[in-house]
Amino acid sequence: MVNPTPILEANSLYHVYESKSEEGNVVALRGLSIEVGQGEAVAVVGPSGSGKSTLLKSLGGLMTPTAGRVFLGGTDLTKLEGSDLVEHRRSTVSFIFQEGNLLPHLSGLDNVMHPLRHAGVPAPEAKRRAIAVLDRLGMVPRMKALPEHLSGGEQQRVAIARALITKPRLILADEPTGSLDPFTSQSVLELFRELHEEEDVAFLMVTHSRDVGDFADRSLELRDGRFVAQHGEGVEFDALSQSRELLVDELGTVSFPPDILLELGGPGRYTVGELEPGRIVLQSEDAAATAAAGSDRAYVENCPACGHEYADDDSNRCPDCGSSRPKQ
Ligand X SMILES: Nc1ncnc2c1ncn2[C@@H]1O[C@H](COP(=O)(O)OP(=O)(O)O)[C@@H](O)[C@H]1O
DSSP conformational letter for 6: P
3-state secondary structure of 258: helix
User: How many angstroms separate the CA atoms of 216 and 193, rounded?
Assistant: 9
Q: Give the CA count within 13 Å in the CB-facing half-sphere of 202.
A: 20
| Amino acid identity, position 19 | S
* Amino acid letter, residue 55: L
Under the binding rule (CB under 6 A), the answer on residue 28 touching ligand X is yes
Residue from 12, 33, 38, 53 touching Mg ion (CB under 5 A): that is 53
User: 258 touches which of ligand X, Mg ion, none (CB within 5 to 8 A by kind)?
Assistant: none
Q: How far is the CB of 53 from Mg ion (least distance, A)?
A: 3
Q: Which is nearer to ligand X, 110 or 221 (CB)?
A: 221
From residue 165, how far is each of 64, 87, 161, 326 by CA, in Å? 26, 16, 6, 76
Q: Which is nearer to ligand X, 107 or 209 (CB)?
A: 209
Question: 51 vs 108, which CB is nearer to Mg ion?
Answer: 51
> Which of 30, 52, 89, 196 is close enough to bind ligand X by CB under 6 A?
52
Judged by phi (left if over 0) then psi (alpha if -120 to 50, else beta), residue 116 lies in: alpha
Give buried/exposed letters for 191-213 (b at 16+ CB in 10 A, else e). Answer: bbeebbeeeebbbbbbbbbeebb
Q: How near is the Cβ of 52 to Mg ion at its closest, in Å? A: 5
Answer with the entry of Mg ion, ligand X, none that 304 interacts with (C-beta below 5 to 8 A by kind).
none
Q: Which of 11, 33, 38, 53 binds ligand X (CB under 6 A)?
A: 53
Q: Which of 20, 23, 24, 48 binds ligand X (CB under 6 A)?
A: 48
Closest CA to 183 of 157, 160, 222: 157
Residue 28 binding: pick among Mg ion, ligand X, none (C-beta 5-8 Å cut-off by kind): ligand X
How many residues of this chain interact with ligand X, rule: CB under 6 A? 12
Cβ 45 to ligand X shortest distance, Å: 10
Query: What type of residue is 126?
Result: A
Q: In the bound complex, what is the minimum distance in angstroms from residue 34's beta carbon to Mg ion?
A: 17
- Parallel, antiparallel or unpaired: strands 67-72 and 8-17: antiparallel
Distances (CA, A) of 150 to 109, 153, 174: 12, 8, 20
If one asks whether residue 17 binds ligand X (CB under 6 A), the answer comes out as yes
Q: Which is nearer to Mg ion, 173 or 235 (CB)?
A: 173
Given Mg ion, ligand X, none, residue 17, with its beta carbon under 5 to 8 Å by kind, binds: ligand X
DSSP for 62-75 reads SS--SEEEEEETTE
Phi, psi torsion values for 155, nearest 5 degrees:
-60, -40
8-state DSSP, 5: P
Looking at 45-53, 77-85, 210-218, 305-313, which segment touches ligand X (CB under 6 A)? 45-53
Give the whole-angstrom CA distance, residue 78 versus residue 64. 7
**Which position among 9, 34, 45, 54 is part of the footprint of ligand X (CB under 6 A)?**
54
Nearer to ligand X, 58 or 92 (CB): 58
Q: How many CB atoms are located within 10 Å of the residue 228 CB?
A: 22
Q: Which is nearer to Mg ion, 53 or 243 (CB)?
A: 53
Q: Choose the stretch contacting ligand X; rule: CB under 6 A; options: 51-59, 144-152, 176-184, 265-273.
A: 51-59
Q: Which residues bind ligand X (CB under 6 A)?
A: 17, 19, 26, 28, 46, 48-54
Q: Which residues bind Mg ion (CB under 5 A)?
A: 52-53
